[in-house]
Amino acid sequence: MAAGMTFGNSAPDASPYADEGPYGTPVVYKKSGLTRRGKVAIAVAGVAIVGGGTIWFQVHSAAVAKDEKEAAALQIQMKKLELEEMRIRNEQATSDKKAATASAEKIQAAVDKCVKDSSSQLDKGYGSPPRSAVVADCKQQYETADGSGMQAVGSSTLDAGNAGGGGINSPTLLGLVAGGALAVALFARKGKKADA
C-alpha cells in the first residue's frame, strides 16, 4: 500500500511526505498588498516628494519676493530719475526764461534809445516819418539782431537750399557708388571667364 493512502476507517499515516488533502498539496495564497520593503520604499518616496515640494515652494517664494523687491527698487530709481529730469528741465526753463527776459530788456532798451535818437526827425514837417513808422523801423532793426531771429533766418536759408535740389544728396551718391561697384564686378567676372 502506498504511503498516505488509506482504506476504511484507518487513520492516515503521520508521515512527513503524506499529502495534506485528497487532491494534493493545497495552494498557499499570498496576501494581497505590498510587502514590508515596498511599503518602506513608498514611504521614503512620499517623504522625498513632500520635502522636495516644500523646499521648491520656499525657493520659488523667495525668488518671487526677490523679483518683486527688485521691481520695486527699479520703479523707485525710475521715479528718482524722472524727478531729476524734471528738476533739470525746470532749471533749464528758468535759465531760458531769464535769458529771454534779459534779451527782451536789452532789445527794448535799444529800441527806446533808437526812438529817442530819431525823435528829432519826428513830425517836423511834410515828408517826415510819423512816430509809429520810426518805432516799427527800430523794432525791426533790433529784434532781428536777436539770436532767435538769426536762428530763424539760418534755418530758412538751409531749407531753401535743400528745396532747390541743385546738389547731390546722399541716396543718389550711394546709388551711383553701388552701381559703379556692380559694373566693375561684372566686368571683372567676364574678364575671368574670357581668360579661362
Do the beta carbons of residue 30 and residue 16 sit within 8 Å?
A: no
Q: Which residues contact 17 (CB under 8 A, 6 or more apart)?
A: 3, 4
d(CA 10, CA 1): 13
Cα-Cα-Cα-Cα dihedral sign, residues 33, 37, 39, 41: negative
pLDDT tier at 160, thresholds 50, 70, 90: very low
Question: pLDDT tens digits, residue range 104-159?
Answer: 888 888 888 887 777 766 656 566 667 777 778 777 777 765 555 445 444 444 44
Q: How confident is the model at residue 92 (pLDDT cuts 50, 70, 90)?
A: very high
pTM reported for the whole predicted model: 0.36
pLDDT attached to residue 163: 47
- Please check whether residue 144 is in contact with residue 131, taking contact to mean a CB–CB distance below 8 angstroms: no
Three-state SS for 116? helix
